[in-house]
């Protein structure tokens, strides 16, 4: 597959994987992207997951058409991209390996060698000439590993963006980009918004026509849309006005309160209302929704003088990804000593710019006239 006249795609689709990174459900698989730049000298951009080494090397050999590669550029050392470095080095022993100093240290850990006789160490602003194509390297520490570099090809105005602008799903999956890119970003990169912001500022100075990520489709049109979403996500701003109600329920009474609240919100004119049962939904989807929408209602029971485990897990996912700049409300249920609202608020103490609603809902076992009136007040406040 041609990206430009000189840049070709040699990545693979993985429809065997069920959990990416051991935790993210990927019903449409994953793509592990790799590229080759054909010029006076030839550079291969990253490798692929270990299970696809033979397929990847066969694709590379076909594109080389009898030539030998001069360089392997390693932008990111996660094994889904770096697993075949040693296979490449054994297959093409004359080729040099281009990467950051930190990456070579990681290669020693993974492969037992740092390829000392093949190293080309690059840092911020360093260049590599292939002929017509000149590659400029940009450091991207903690996006989302410390060794990461991204690469800009000035000839074809291509940004090789490492894990940036990636998404879940194989390339033959027919699905919306933003949905799976958002879930991918929030889950995997979300903690590192400040670092992504720094990288976006560097990228703003480049004339970019094509973005080639390590996962998901090559982006060639309307790049402002994708960059704009990344700016929103990495600055922790709501993407849409809306209310997410995230809840757990043991015997159905909290669930009933949530259903009534959702109905009141919809009748009250709230633009978007999303409800997630944290015990049953994909947790990563729920976390994605929390970052997508401007308001969050947390509804749960007191459990062992704490909160229900799925709610604790959910809030931990939010806080470790720097959840901020949102409006939050609490619905708590407890038969004899309700503690849930107090516990949830304490868990959010480190979150920045959280506005708590004046209204809250306290259910003592089951809804009654008093707690229904509290639901009315909360719905009115959230819809204002």
Cα 85 from Cα 244, distance rounded (Å): 43
As a whole number of angstroms, the distance between CA 88 and CA 35 comes to 14
pTM, full prediction: 0.93
What end-to-end distance do the CA atoms of the chain give, in Å?
51
Residue 312's Cβ-side half-sphere holds a number of Cα atoms within 13 Å equal to 13
Q: Where residue 253 falls among pLDDT bands split at 50, 70, 90?
A: very high
Number of helical H runs and strand E runs in the chain: 12, 22
- Alpha-carbon distances, residue 292 vs 242, 247, 353, 369 (angstroms): 8, 17, 16, 33
| Cα separation, 202 vs 382, whole angstroms | 38
Phi, psi (deg, nearest 5) at residue 226: -70, -45
Residue 85: enclosing H or E segment and its boundaries? helix 85-91
Asked whether the beta carbons of 297 and 272 are under 8 A apart, the reply is no
Residue 337, pLDDT above cutoff 90: no
> What share of the chain in percent tops pLDDT 70?
100
Mean per-residue pLDDT, 36-52 = 98
- Domain 242-383's class? alpha beta
Q: How is domain 7-234 classified at the architecture level of CATH?
A: 4-Layer Sandwich (3.60)
Give residue 198's pLDDT.
95
Domain ranges of the chain: 7-234, 242-383
Q: Are 275 and 225 in contact (CB under 8 A)?
A: no
Q: Which of helix, strand or coil describes residue 302?
A: strand
Residue 270 has pLDDT above 90, yes or no: no
- Bridge partners of residue 72, in order along the sequence: 44, 97
Q: What is the pLDDT of residues 200-223, one digit of tens each?
A: 999 999 999 999 999 999 999 999
Q: What is the token pair recorded at 77?
A: 């050392």
Higher pLDDT, 174 or 88: 88
């Amino acid at each position: 597959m041609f990206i430009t006249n000189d840049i070709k795609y040699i990545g693979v689709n993985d429809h065997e994987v069920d959990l990416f990174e051991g935790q993210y459900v990927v019903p449409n698989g994953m793509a592990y992207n790799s590229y080759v730049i054909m010029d006076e000298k030839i550079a291969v951009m990253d490798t692929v997951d270990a299970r696809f080494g033979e397929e990847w090397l066969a694709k590379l050999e076909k594109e080389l058409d009898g030539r030998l590669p001069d360089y392997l550029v390693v932008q990111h050392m996660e094994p889904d991209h770096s697993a075949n470095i040693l296979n490449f080095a054994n297959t093409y022993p004359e080729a040099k390996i281009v990467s950051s100093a930190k990456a070579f240290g990681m290669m020693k850990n993974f492969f037992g060698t740092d390829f000392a006789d093949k190293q080309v160490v690059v840092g911020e602003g360093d260049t590599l000439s292939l002929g017509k194509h000149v590659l400029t390297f940009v450091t991207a520490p903690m996006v989302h590993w410390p060794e990461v570099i991204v690469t800009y090809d000035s000839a074809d105005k291509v940004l090789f963006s490492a894990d940036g602008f990636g998404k879940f799903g194989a390339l033959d999956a027919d699905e919306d980009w933003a949905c799976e890119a958002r879930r991918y970003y929030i889950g995997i990169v979300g903690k590192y918004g400040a670092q992504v912001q720094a990288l976006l500022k560097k990228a703003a100075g480049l004339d970019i026509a094509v973005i080639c990520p390590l996962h998901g489709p090559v982006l060639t049109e309307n790049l402002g849309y994708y960059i704009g979403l990344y700016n929103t996500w990495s600055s922790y701003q709501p993407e849409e006005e809306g209310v997410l109600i995230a809840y757990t329920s043991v015997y159905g009474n909290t669930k009933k309160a949530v259903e009534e609240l959702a109905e009141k919100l919809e009748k009250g004119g709230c633009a978007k209302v999303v409800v997630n049962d944290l015990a049953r939904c994909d947790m990563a989807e729920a976390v994605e929704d929390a970052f997508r929408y401007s308001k969050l209602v947390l509804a749960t029971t007191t459990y062992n003088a704490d909160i229900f485990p799925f709610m604790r897990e959910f809030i931990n996912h939010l806080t470790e990804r720097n959840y901020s700049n949102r409006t939050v409300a609490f619905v708590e249920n407890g038969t004899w000593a309700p503690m849930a609202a107090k516990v949830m608020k304490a868990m959010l103490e480190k979150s920045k710019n959280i506005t708590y609603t004046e209204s809250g809902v306290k259910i003592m076992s089951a809804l009654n006239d008093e707690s229904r009136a509290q639901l009315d007040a909360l719905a009115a406040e959230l819809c204002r």
